[in-house]
Amino acid sequence: MRGFSILELMVVVTVIMVISAVALPSFIQAYRTYQLDDAATQIASVLKFTRYEGIRLNVTAAAPLAARTLVTAAGTNVYTDSNNSGTLQVTENQILFSGNVTLVAGGTPPGGLAAAVGVAALTNIPVTGGVIAFDQRGAVVPAAVNVLYVGNTSLPNLGNRAVIVLPSGSVQIWSTDAAGNWRQLN
């Protein structure tokens, strides 16, 4: 006698389902954007770690400490090659991208990033076998403005992220929308 009728419950459930159906695409879009931003932040973290390790270990410019990219069957790795062996070892600082979020070849993202950063040219780091090395001062060896691109292979309309390493060793993260407009995230 003092409860809800089945009709009232059905109306409430219907309203909840309509609101969920309207909100779900926005939520999924936000989640996929978050995945791209997080991937770029993780790459930046590995690069910063590599730089700080080069400073801490006082490596020389002749034998700098390197961050490397490697494509395996499991996905794409970005790692600190702490012993400069050129091979990934389980004890090294690393991240693995698998699924739709991955490193993107340099010619794929829209142009205009060099102008947005304010440099004449960018050095694209290859998706596999790419190397960014740091000396004892934390500077990039050889001096160049390096870039790694991150994208979602199944949803290119989300844009791309670019992780820029300046010759001084500082790291920046940039984002582009589907129209190709670049903006700095950090």
Q: Tell me the C-alpha distance between 117 and 92, whole Å.
A: 31
User: Is-contact 174 150, C-beta < 8 A?
Assistant: no
- Give the predicted TM-score (pTM) of the model: 0.86
CATH 3.40.50.20 fits 6-184, yes or no: no
Question: Residue length, the chain?
Answer: 186
Would you give the distance in Å from CA 93 to the centre of its chain? 16
Alpha helices in the chain (DSSP H): 6-57, 113-117
Task: Kindly give, in sequence order, each residue whose CB lies less than 8 Å from that of residue 40, ignoring residues fewer than 6 positions away.
Answer: 150, 161, 162, 163, 173, 175, 185
pLDDT greater than 70 at residue 20: yes
**pLDDT digits 0-9 by tens, 125-180:** 988 889 999 999 999 999 999 999 999 888 888 889 999 999 999 999 999 987 88
Q: Please state, in angstroms and as integers, the Cα–Cα distance from residue 85 to each residue in 29, 58, 65, 82, 95, following that order.
A: 40, 18, 10, 8, 18
Domain ranges for the chain = 6-184
Quote the pLDDT of residue 177.
Answer: 81
pLDDT greater than 80 at residue 107: no
Quote the pLDDT of residue 155.
Answer: 84
**pLDDT digits 0-9 by tens, 27-83:** 998 998 999 999 999 999 999 999 999 999 999 888 899 999 988 888 889 999 988
Quote the pLDDT of residue 148.
Answer: 94
Q: How many CB atoms lie within 10 A of CB 174?
A: 21
* pLDDT-derived band at 1, boundaries 50, 70, 90: low
Quote the pLDDT of residue 159.
Answer: 86
